[in-house]
Amino acid sequence: MNKKLMIPLLGVFAVSLIVAGGLVINTLTLNVGVAEPFTVQYAVLGDSGDYNVGEDGTCTETSAWFSSGDSSVPGGVIYPEETRKFCVKINNVGESPIDYSVTSKIKEGIGNYADCAVAFPETTISGTANNGETITGQEFTVPGNAPVVGGCEIEISVARG
């Protein structure tokens, strides 16, 4: 007699599981990803001499743009109290504005780290890159008390978000 009651009860339980769990009518699966919206180029104004603010105060008129993958990246020496302007051009192909930060950092273990850090102080600039080109930059002056040093490697990184 108990077996006769069990079969209908199992049917009721099965139906209640379907109703309680919801009835799936349709499913959509998206295969999406996130693409890098930034391409970045750099320029150093004032090479082979002091940077003159009247030359190009906004970095927009220079044709000296290079990318991190270029084989010819400006280097050489700078004398104490000389000024340069480092420019960054960010092309944001995304439609939304994206915050960014540009950081200069002396690479440790290369040359004399302490003397390089005195000659080229680390700095960060930040802002928002709208759709299209955003050009920013910062002047820097080698301090008058900078030690004579060579082989300094300065890593410039652009981060978004």
Would residue 11 count as lying in a domain? no
Token reading at 133 = 């080109």
Would residue 30 count as lying in a domain? no
Cα dihedral sign for 56, 60, 63, 69? positive
How far apart, in whole angstroms, are the C-alpha atoms of residue 146 and residue 158?
26
CATH number of the domain enclosing 71 = 2.60.40
Condensed to tens digits (0 to 9), the pLDDT of residues 7-60 reads 777 777 777 766 666 667 888 999 999 999 999 998 888 765 666 666 555 677
Condensed to tens digits (0 to 9), the pLDDT of residues 61-101 reads 667 788 877 665 667 788 888 888 888 999 999 999 999 99
Domain count for the chain, please give it.
1
In this predicted structure, the answer to whether residue 108 has a pLDDT above a threshold of 90 is no
Would residue 10 count as lying in a domain? no
